Structure 1
Amino acid sequence: MDVSDLVIDGDTPGVAWRLPVFRFSGTVPAAPSVYIQAALHAGELPGTALAHFLLGALAEAEARGAIRGDITVVPHANPIGLAQSHFGEMQGRFDLGSRTNFNRDFPLVPLSGRDGLLENLGTFSAVERLKRHVLHTALGADLVLDLHCDDESLQYAYLHSVFWPGAADLAEALDMDAVFLSDGASTAFEEAVAHAFRMDAPHDGLPAGRLAVTVELRGLADVDRDTAKRDAAGLLRFLAMRGVVAAEAGSPHSFDGPVLPLDWVEMIRAPEAGTVLFHRRVGDRVKAGDGLATIIARPGFADGEVTLHAPQDGLVVTRVSRRYVRRNGDLMKIACAGPSARQRPPGTLED
């Protein structure tokens, strides 16, 4: 195992950011190579915990000579966001300087433009240089996994439709509850990688042997030793199934969770601001018309409550953890068996 620091100079004198990069050299040139990063949204830590235990397992595999393909792991991909604190609360999703999401505005380049990402770096801000470095590293791999989490959530994944059903082995190995098929219309990290892979693919758009996926490892508070070790074991099993690591993969099983395009995800938003009383938990299945949440918009008034109902049958995949919501604020994601009647602009479900 080789450990090196990626150094990102700050935008003011005397400031520099360091993030450790762990690399394992494979012994089989034809084996797939892998890039795994966690906590691009700095406060989303289930992936960092997973990476910690995965690195221990990979070190043991390396000692046995069982690393077949090159593996790169970045346990915490955003030291800039990690250091951002406002009134004692980490601000790890958005850069406070530019107000942009750390997982948006990645350059969209073909694989042939990979090296150009590191040209003229001095003309870019620290955040832009961080994005260019991690994207450059990822585009050197065949399999790219970006580990995130939601607020309160089941385990699910985002990936471009060209990678499905090829990625069913990952969904099964990590025991995912749902898979969302993106439309390739955003500049998130995983979609920037998918863009490069697709540009390099044959005309059928299927990048043979490649994968780019965002894994949502449940919710923000789902960080504990047993869960992280179980997720690390699942990811190690996936690497064994793909021939990256020589290990027992077990018998593969088919993934039987919902697989749906983003237009089939009902985004439940608040029509008014107020205190939220949820009627449903993540993992609940709902029928059209079921009560989802009540908002106490005007406490003490007879007409002060607003109740939201399920627009169609589905599975509650996420809900927010805060119990006060602004008007039009997100409350839930529901995976459904048909398209939402609400028009969705291309791109991501949330900012």
Structure 2
Amino acid sequence: MRTELHPLPPAAPGTRHELVSLHYGTPGRGPKVVIQASLHADEVPGMLVAHHLRGRLAALEAQGRVSGEVVLVPAANPLGLNQWMLRAPQGRFDWTSGENFNRQFADLTQAVFDRVGTELGPDAAANVARVRAALRDAVAALPAVTPLEHLRRTLLGLAIDADTVLDLHCDGQAVLHLYTTHATWASHGELLARCLGAEVALLADRSGGDPFDEACSMVWCDLAAKLRPDQPLPPACLAATIELRGEHDVKHALASRDAEAILAYLHHRGAIRLDPAPPLPETCCEPTPLAGSMPMHAPHGGVLVFLREVGEHVRAGEPLAEVIDPLTGAASVLTSPVDGLFFACECKTFAVAGMAIGKVAGRQALRSGALLSV
């Protein structure tokens, strides 16, 4: 295992942060996989999964069983880890800019097209190699002044040429679910969902806001759309955001299970070799559109009481939660907007007006525009 330190230039004299990445296997030999944890620094389950992964990957490397390259970023947001206020972590938004740490990653499509678009030929594998080299160059050329810009450029530089990118997050309270693209679902996304035992798989090509996973995956589809028919370019990167249940699901048993599920996926992708080979689960959740994930919002402030548990299938119109004004006694009942799986909800017990308090995954695409939560 090789440890790399990536200093982030300080915003002010006397301050310093650095990103740490752990590297297993040999670059350029076999598939490249990047796994990063807790880009939203207050979402802790991914860091514990990374803790379990590092030990297992070190042992596999010592046994000569890392057949590709695996890059593990155990804490992807040193800036957010340092943001605490009144004993509470505040790792979702950068305090200086107000920007969500998992938004506004660079779209490199035009930059890569300008570099190699006219040079690609009829050999798909050769085109993938040329595009990966151009992507590395394009990331290196990105301007960066603030620590946040340097963090985004560094994370993208580690992952932009990977075959697989797994971005580990969590929700408030939730079942294990993932986000990925239509283009890679049949080839590798379904395999990932099977290995993880995901209960929901939400598919979108553009969710809005330029999150990290789409910066790594959608550049391939967008570039392919610009090329001639005699310049084949497959979607060469499976990137997925994996929501590791809820904020408080920080338990060794769960983290160990999730780490083993990720290793099983890496085995089936050819990045590592497990002995015995893990069986492939026979069933998988039905993928549903991210545009069919329907949020519910509190109509006013008050005590938040859930009437159903996450993981339950619900029907449109069924009561899911109450918001109770403690001063007037008025109570509003929030009902399911669609038939589907009640897969995530808020972990706080008091709501303010307009607050998103839960989500139901339906089968029909009913929303448009920005599809991710703020």
- Provide closer, same or farther for how the CA distance between residues 189 and 27 of structure 1 changes in structure 2, counting only shifts above 3 A: closer
Task: Tell whether 2:219 aligns with 1:196.
Answer: yes
Q: Which runs of 5+ in 1 are unaligned?
A: none
- Provide closer, same or farther for how the CA distance between residues 45 and 206 of structure 1 changes in structure 2, counting only shifts above 3 A: farther
Task: Tell whether 2:284 aligns with 1:256.
Answer: yes
Local SS of the residue matching 2:244: strand
Q: Alignment RMSD, CA only? A: 2.0
Counterpart in the other structure of 2:338: 312
Q: CA deviation at 1:120?
A: 6.8
Q: CA deviation at 1:82?
A: 0.2
Please give the residue correspondences for 1:139-150 in structure 2 after superposition, counting only pairs within 5 Å: 139-150=160-171
Higher helix share: 2
Within 1, Cα distance between the matches of 2:370 and 2:139? 23
Please give the residue correspondences for 1:1-351 in structure 2 after superposition, counting only pairs within 5 Å: 1-26=1-26, 29=29, 31-110=30-109, 112-119=134-141, 121=143, 123-166=144-187, 167-184=189-206, 185-201=208-224, 207-247=234-274, 248-297=276-325, 299-301=327-329, 304-340=330-366, 344-351=367-374
The residue type paired with residue 176 of structure 1 is: A
Within 1, Cα distance between the matches of 2:285 and 2:135? 37
Q: TM-score, normalised by structure 1?
A: 0.92
Q: CA deviation at 1:114?
A: 3.2
The residue type paired with residue 154 of structure 1 is: V
Local SS of the residue matching 1:72: strand
- CA offsets 1:288-341 (integer angstroms, 9 cap, x no match): 22111111136344xx1111112222111001011111211101110123344x
| Identity across matched positions, percent | 33
- CA offsets 1:247-282 (integer angstroms, 9 cap, x no match): 133332344313111121111111222211110111
Contact 1:28 1:68 in 2 (8 A): no
- How many residues were matched structurally? 344
Q: Which runs of 5+ in 2 are unaligned?
A: 110-130
Q: TM-score, normalised by structure 2?
A: 0.87
Within 1, Cα distance between the matches of 2:31 and 2:202? 24
- CA offsets 1:101-127 (integer angstroms, 9 cap, x no match): 000011111352432333375x52110
The residue type paired with residue 323 of structure 1 is: T
Within 2, Cα distance between the matches of 1:15 and 1:48? 24
Counterpart in the other structure of 2:121: none
Contact 1:163 1:206 in 2 (8 A): no
Local SS of the residue matching 1:58: helix
